[in-house]
Chain A
C-alpha cells in the first residue's frame, strides 16, 4: 500500500467503527475466546449487579462498600474490557480499510471467452480461456498462453510503472483486477471462483480468515494458566482474610483479581497479531498464513539467487585477452562480429567493449553475414561471414569446435580460462575457424550495499547462501566479493531442493525467494518461501508469501516483522506480569485493613506495606484499577507498531527488553498508581 493510503486509514471513520465494534465485541460468545478478558467481563458484570442491589437498598456481599465505590470499579472494569476490544477493533479496522480499497477496484467485469461468449468474471472456472484487449481489466488470476502486453498492476502493487506480461517463461502470471494497457492477451484462468488472489488478499487483511498462530496459542495458554492461578489466589483470600478478622467485599476481591491477571497482554494479544499481518501488507508482502509470518522470525538460512539479487542482472564483458600471435584489434573485431546479432545483455556488452578497442560498428545487413544463434547443444553463437566461421562460447565448447575444424588450441587458452573463472568472471573463448583468437572476460557486477545487507542478516543470526548456476570457482569468487556466508554452485532445481532438505534436516529454518516455475518445488519445501509477484503462477502458488514489489531482499523486512511480532508479545507479557508487584502493594494493604488489627486505632500491622502512601483503601483500589485500564489504550500504538527489532544479537536484545519492559514494568505502575491516587484521593476526595 502506498504511504498516502496508509495514512488515510487513521480517519475518524475508522475510530468510530472501532468504537462500535468494541461494544459489539462485549458479546460473551466473542469474549470467551480470550479467557483473560472474559474473566474481566464477568467481574464487571458481578460488580454491576452488586451496585444495582446496593442502589435497590440491598447490601453487598462481604463488605460495607458505599454504592459509589462499587459503581466506580464497575465502570472501570467495563472500560478495561472495552479498551481491549477497541485495540482489536482498531487493528482489524485498519485492515478492513485496506480491504475496502481493494474491493473498490474489483469491479464486476464481463469476461470474454475464446468462443466469443461472455460470462461474469465471478463465474469463471479454472481452465476457462479468456481474451483481454488493451484497456480492459483482466477478469481473474491466470497464466498468459498467448500474446505479450504491458499491464498496469498498480492496483495491487502500488507500483505505477506498467509491467510486461507474456506467454511462456517466468513472466506469464497475471492477476485479476489488473489492467491491460497495450496489446492483447489470451489468458487461461487458474483460480476457482471466489478464490482469486484479490479475494484472498481481502480476506487476509480483513482478518476474516485469521486463525491463531502456534506461538499465539502457546502464549494464550500461559496467560490462561496465570489467570487460573490468580483466580484461586483471590478466591482463597476470602476465607484467609475472614480467618484474620478482615472481611473483603466482592468488589475489592474482583478488583484485585483483575489487577493481577495479565490484562495488558491479554487485551493486546490479538491486536499484535493482526497488526503484524498488516505491517507486512504495508510492505507489499502478502502472507498466505499467519503461521508463515511467525516462522519468518525463526529463519536461520536464507537462499538467494545470484542473478538479479546479488549481482546486477547480467554479466558484462570487461576484458579481451588475445592468444599469442593474435592482435588485440583482430580479437576485438571477431568478438564484435560474433556478438552483433546477440541481443542478450552479455552480447551487447561485448559490442560496447569492442568499441573501446577502436572497432567501429558494423551493420549486420552490410555484411551479408549468416547469424548462428546460441543453442543448448553447441553452447556457442556466432556468425558465418566472408567464408569464415566466427564463434564465441564456453571454453570447452569452443575447444571442441576448433579441434573439429582441425586446429589445436594453444596452451595459454587453458590458463586464461582458468584465471577468468578464478576471478569470478565467466570466460568466453572466441575462435575463427580452426584458430582460437582469445578470451573475453564477462564479469558479474555486485549490487551496491549487498555486503552491508549480508552483515545485517548475519547480525540477525541469519546465514545467507548464494545459489547460482555458475561453476564453483566463479561462485566462490562472487561469494567472497559480496560477503555471503556460503554458496551453491552449478545449481539445478533438484540440487536446490536437496540443499533445502539438508539444511532443514540439520534443524535450520530455511527461507528462499524465487520466481520461476522451476523454483516452485524449492519454494514449497522452504519454511518461508517468498514468491515474486512477477513470477509464474506456479511459483506464486508454491510459496507461502508473495512479494508484490518482487524485491528479493525484501526477506530482511519480512524477517524483521516476524521477529517484532514475537518480541512485542514477549515484552508486553513481561510488562504485564512485572506490573503485578506494584498492584499488590497498592491493593493488599487496602483490603487487609482490618487483618489482625490491634492497638487503640484497630489498625492492621500490614498498613506498613502501604509504601506508596496511598490516600485511603478505596482510593488505592480505584487507582490500581484505573491504571490497569488506562495502560491498555496507552500501549495500543506500541502493539500496532511493534517493539523495535535491533539486529544486535539475542543476548543484547534480551538484556535491553528485560530492562525496558521488565524493570520498567516493575517501576512504572508505582509512579502511575501514585499519580492517579493523588488525583482520586485529593482532588476528587474519594
Chain B
C-alpha cells in the first residue's frame, strides 16, 4: 500500500461528494417541474419531443399507468434491439459493418438483448469480433441511454410516492424519461465524451488496422466509435465494453486520468440521486444520513480490496511472491492488472463498478486474491444498495430504508412511520418481495447451473474442480441478477471459433438462464417499487414529534447499515464461503 494509493481513494470520494450534492439539487428541481439552468436551451426540444410522442407531461399517472408505460416502452425496445442484432448483415448498406460480421446465434442474442435492456450489459460475446458499428451504435448504445433513463425514472417515481401529499399520481413516465435524457445525461455525456476523446479514446468508423509489430508478428487492431459509447457506458452504469477487455483497453481507457474520470462518471448520478432524495423530501439531512451509510460501505469495500490486492494472496506468499508496495514499486498482486492504473486505481475501479450496476472492469477480477475477489461478491450481495445503478441504486436502497424504518420504528413503540407515512402490511409485503427477488434469482440460477451438466459446460477448462469453478458460475448469475454485468471471466455462453460469428454457437443453458435471471431481477422489483410508490402516495402524513423515530441521524444510519450488511450476509454467506472465501483461506493457487 502507498500513501498515493490511499489519497487517490479518499480524494476521489471527496470530489464525488462535492460534485454530487449540486447535481442532486439540480435534479430535485428538474423532477419537481421547476425551471433549471438548462431550461432556456432545452425547453423547446423537450416540448417538441412531447408533441412527437403525443404525451402531456403534466398529466400524472398512478402507479399502474406508470408501470404500463414503462413495460410497453421496454418491450418495444427489446424487440427492436433483438431485431437489429439478429439482422446485422442487413444493415451493411450504412457502411457501418466494415468487417462484415454476421449475427450472433439466437440464444446469445436473447441474452445480449435482455442484458442491454436491463442495464446489465453482461457480455458473453466480444464486441470487436461480434458486433458491427451499426449494432453498437443504433442498437446497444441506444439501450445504454434508455435503460439508464428508465431506472432513474423509477427512482424518481418512488421518491414522489414517498413524499407525495395528494392523490395517487407518481409522475409521468414519459416526461421523466425525456427529462432524464435531455437534462441530465446528455449534457454530461457531451462534455465528457470530448474529455475522453482528448485523452486518446478513439472515435472512428475505420475498418480494423493490420500492423506488423516490433517483433515482426502481424496484429489486427480493432477500431470503432468508442468515445461516444464509452461515456454513456459509464454514466448510465451500463458497463458493456466496446471491446472485450472493457476499460482495460487503451482505446477505452487510455490513462490514469481517464480512469478517474470514468469512475466519477459511474458514481455521479447514483450519488446525486441520494442528495436529490433528501431535497425532494424537504429534509436534506435525510439524504446526508443515507449518503453517509453508502459512502462508508463503499470506502470499506475499497479499503479491503486495496489492502488485499496490495498484500497478495496466501497462495502467492506460499509461492515466495511476497511483494510489498512501496513508493516506486507497486508490488502486491499485479496479475491481471494494468500497470498504467496500478493497484489502488484498479481496486477502486473494481469497487466502483461492482457497488453500482455498471460492471465495467479495468482489471481481471478472476485474478484477484481470494479476499480482494470477495469484495465484488460482497458488493453484489448488497443488491445495489451501495450507490447501486442509476436509479436502481436509489430505489433498492429505499426499500432497505423502508424495512429498517419498520424494524426500528417498532422498537420505539409506534406504528412505524417513514417521513410521516405509516408502514403497514401492504408496504412490507411489496418491499419484502422487492428485496427478495434479486437474491432469490441469483441463488436459484446458480443452483441450476451448478447442479446440471448443461450448466457446468460453461465453466472454463482451467477452473474445473477448483473453487474458481464455483466462483465464476455463482458470480455469473449473481452479476446478472444484480444487472451488473461484470464477470469472473471464464464462464462462457458463446463458442466463437472465428471473428464475425461464422460457425459460432451459443450455450443455450447459460444464455437463456442468464437472460431470464436479468429480466426477472430487473422488472419484478421495478413493478414492486412502483407499487410501493403508489401505496405510499395516497397516505396521510403524520407530523413528527418527540416519539417519532428520526431517519436522518447517526442512530438510524447505523441501523440501516446493519440491515444492509446482515440481510446481504445472511443470504449469501454460505455460497461465498464455497467460492472466494475458501480461495482466500488457502495456500493453493487456483
Contacts and interface: CB of A to CB of B under 8 A. Distances in A.
Contacts of B577: 588, 592, 595, 606, 609
Interface stretch (B262-270, B285-293, B413-421): B413-421
A575 B569 CA distance: 16
Interface string B417-454: 00010011101110011011001100110110011000
A157 B424 CA distance: 35
Given A235-B447, A581-B566, A584-B573, 7 more contacts: A221-B425, A225-B428, A295-B415, A566-B414, A570-B408, A651-B555, A657-B412
Contacts of A404: none
Interface stretch (B1-9, B494-502, B540-548): B540-548
Nearest to A585: B573
A233 interface: yes
A570 B407 contact: yes
Interface in A641-675: 645, 649-651, 653-655, 657-658, 661-662
A487 to B, nearest CB: 19
A578 B566 contact: yes
Contact of B407 (A462, A574, A604): A574
A240 B411 contact: no
Interface stretch (B172-180, B232-240, B355-363, B581-589): B581-589
A134 B581 CA distance: 83
Nearest to B446: A236
Contact of A217 (B425, B443, B559, B573): B425
Interface stretch (A22-30, A383-391, A505-513): A505-513
A588 B581 contact: no
Nearest to B408: A654
17 contacts: A228-B436, A229-B436, A229-B571, A233-B571, A239-B450, A240-B450, A244-B467, A244-B470, A300-B545, A562-B413, A567-B411, A592-B578, A598-B586, A650-B548, A650-B550, A653-B413, A655-B555
A236 B443 contact: yes
Contacts of A563: 413-414
Nearest to B415: A298
A684 B575 CA distance: 32
Interface string A317-344: 0000000000000000000000000000
A543 B423 CA distance: 25
A596 interface: yes
B471 to A, nearest CB: 11
B428 A221 contact: yes
B546 to A, nearest CB: 4
Interface string A231-266: 011011101111110000000000000001000000
Contact of B547 (A237, A239, A460, A506): A460
Interface string B242-275: 0000000000000000000000000000000000
Given A240-B470, A651-B555, A598 B588 contact: yes
A298 B414 contact: yes
Contacts of B569: 581
Which size class do B's interface residues fall under?
Answer: 35 or more
A500 B541 CA distance: 16
A657 B450 contact: no
Of the listed residues A243, A295, A461, the one surrounded by the most CB atoms of chain B closer than 10 A to its CB is: A243
Contacts of A655: 555
A507 B574 contact: no
B467 A297 contact: no
Given A240-B578, A508-B543, A584 B451 contact: no
Contact of B406 (A222, A236, A239): A222
A290 B368 CA distance: 56
B582 A222 contact: no
Contacts of B411: 566-567, 570-571, 574, 653-654, 657-658, 661
B562 interface: yes
A658 B470 contact: no
Nearest to B466: A596
A573 to B, nearest CB: 6
A508 B542 contact: yes
A161 interface: no
Contacts of B543: 300, 506-508
B410 A239 contact: no
B401 interface: no
A563 B548 CA distance: 12
In the A-B complex, the 9 residue pairs with the closest CB atoms: A461-B547, A570-B410, A563-B413, A225-B432, A239-B451, A570-B411, A461-B546, A236-B447, A507-B542
B339 to A, nearest CB: 32
A569 interface: yes
Nearest to B452: A239
Contacts of B466: 596
Contacts of B582: 244, 595-596, 604-606
A218 interface: yes
A588 B406 contact: no
Contacts of A241: 578
